[in-house]
């Protein structure tokens, strides 16, 4: 049984609910979309269903490649059963192509492809705007151990080598993406989600954007962009 209990947490686009098992929770994808630290908000039709389908597909691909995640199974069109993790308060960002804040910070032209991925840490803190940090900050303030830092970095780059070609086969460029990790029984595993909410995905030829930048910068119908990603991955929702 996976009875849906009380709401434990509600974020910008997902909600977490208790189940009858203390180590398992239900992760619900909502249709909410936010940008610029929630200053911009809208409800996007079908976004939750499409993200659930994409995330389920990606988590299955990672499991097939022996990457451990919190994902257990899909429960409905918008809900997944996942393991309850003790989250590490870091966002791990892998960049294959220059875009977003990297361009603003460093004056790099958008679209520049890197010979090897750029890896960055950000502190997971909505109130601070998720600031960029380095390993010295992480160690000084006790956000993670040296071993954990090495592990999440290694896993992030491994995940990139798995999902980058997965998207490329769908004629999509994986520009960059955000990952979050947590502990279960002392082991670090992937948590959260991998969807167009946290990935930049461009058409491989035209460079049309099919991710949340459509919402951020009013670049076109958001549902159609997310739907295009799902269709190219041969998914239904």
Could you tell me which residues are beta bridge partners of residue 188?
183
pLDDT (0 to 100) of residue 237: 86
Could you tell me if 28 and 79 are in contact, meaning their C-beta atoms sit under 8 angstroms apart?
Answer: yes
Could you tell me which residues are beta bridge partners of residue 178?
93
pTM of this structure: 0.96
Q: Which residues of 155-179 are buried (b: 16+ CB within 10 A; e: fewer)?
A: bbeebbeebbebbeebebbbbbbbb
pLDDT (0 to 100) of residue 1: 62
Print pLDDT tens along the chain (237 aa). 678 999 999 999 999 999 999 999 999 999 999 998 778 999 999 999 999 999 999 999 999 999 999 999 999 999 999 999 999 999 999 999 999 999 999 999 999 999 999 999 999 998 999 999 999 999 999 999 999 999 999 999 999 999 999 999 999 999 999 999 999 999 999 999 999 999 999 999 999 999 999 999 999 999 999 999 999 999 998
């Amino acid at each position: 049984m996976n009875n849906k209990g009380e709401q434990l947490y509600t974020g910008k686009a997902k909600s977490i609910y208790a189940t009858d098992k203390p180590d398992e929770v239900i992760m619900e994808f909502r249709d909410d979309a936010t940008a610029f630290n929630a200053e911009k908000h809208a409800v996007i039709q079908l976004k939750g269903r499409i993200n659930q389908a994409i995330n389920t597909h990606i988590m299955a691909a990672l499991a097939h490649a022996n990457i451990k995640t919190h994902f257990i199974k899909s429960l409905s069109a918008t809900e997944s059963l996942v393991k309850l993790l003790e989250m590490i308060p870091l966002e791990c960002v892998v960049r294959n192509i220059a875009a977003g804040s990297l361009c603003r910070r460093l004056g790099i032209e958008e679209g520049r492809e890197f010979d090897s991925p750029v890896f960055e840490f950000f502190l997971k803190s909505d109130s601070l705007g998720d600031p960029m940090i380095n390993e010295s900050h992480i160690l000084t303030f006790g956000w993670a151990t040296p071993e954990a830092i090495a592990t999440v970095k290694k896993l992030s780059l491994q995940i990139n080598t798995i999902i980058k070609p997965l998207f490329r086969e769908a004629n999509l460029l994986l520009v960059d993406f955000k990952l979050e990790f947590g502990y279960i029984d002392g082991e670090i595993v992937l948590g959260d989600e991998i969807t167009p909410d946290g990935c930049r995905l461009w058409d491989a030829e035209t460079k049309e954007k099919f991710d949340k930048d459509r919402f951020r910068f009013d670049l076109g119908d958001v549902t159609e962009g997310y739907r295009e990603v799902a269709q190219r991955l041969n998914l239904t929702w």
